[in-house]
Amino acid sequence: MDIDRLKRKLRGLKKVEKRIRFGYGDNALSGEFVWDEYFSTKSGGDERVKYPLWLMSKLDRQKIKEIIEEYFYAVYFRKYKESGLEFSDIYDPNVLSAFGLAPGASIDDIKKKFRELAKKYHPDRGGDNEKMIEILDIYHKLLGSDR
């Protein structure tokens, strides 16, 4: 994808997030953007973001579409969380991605992935103890104590 076109598209996403999370007009509130965690329009490598410009420019349209979908899932997740809404079937997209799962993963997907990773990394099966502890921490973050 053309770099200038990609930059315009990414800047447009930030404007949409501002409207979704902070309101309309010049007097709209502002705060920390999810966009700043996901994207950068700097030409150099920006390691602070999940998808730097150089990487996005090498991806095909379908992959970019999937990334934008993931991003909007994170935006709405943050919006609902900031609004104090309780929801039991929606999981933090950042934690899901640590498990290699898509933003809309179900509880069954989470459990299946956990079993798969546990088989691979369990110390009794010759796996890495530290990695198993990390997997358990992620699993507990996703499911919480109340599920």
Q: What is the number of structural domains in the chain?
A: 2
The pLDDT-based confidence of 147 (bands split at 50, 70, 90) is: very low
Q: Are residues 78 and 105 in the same domain?
A: no
Q: What is the mean pLDDT of the chain?
A: 84
Question: Taking residues 108-117, what's their average pLDDT?
Answer: 90
Q: Are residues 76 and 25 in the same domain?
A: yes
Tokens at 79, concatenated: 């919006």
First to last CA, the chain: 43
Asked if residue 144 has pLDDT above 80, the reply is: no
pLDDT of 94 reads 77
Q: Is 47 within the bounds of a domain?
A: yes
Q: Are residues 63 and 98 in the same domain?
A: no
CB 75 within 8 A of CB 36: no
Q: Is 87 within the bounds of a domain?
A: no
Radius of gyration of the chain (CA): 18
Range of the domain at 43: 3-82
Q: Is 62 within the bounds of a domain?
A: yes
Asked if residue 110 has pLDDT above 60, the reply is: yes
Q: Is 100 within the bounds of a domain?
A: yes
C-alpha 40/C-alpha 147 separation (Å) is: 36
Q: Are residues 42 and 9 in the same domain?
A: yes
Q: Are residues 8 and 76 in the same domain?
A: yes
Q: Are residues 13 and 64 in the same domain?
A: yes
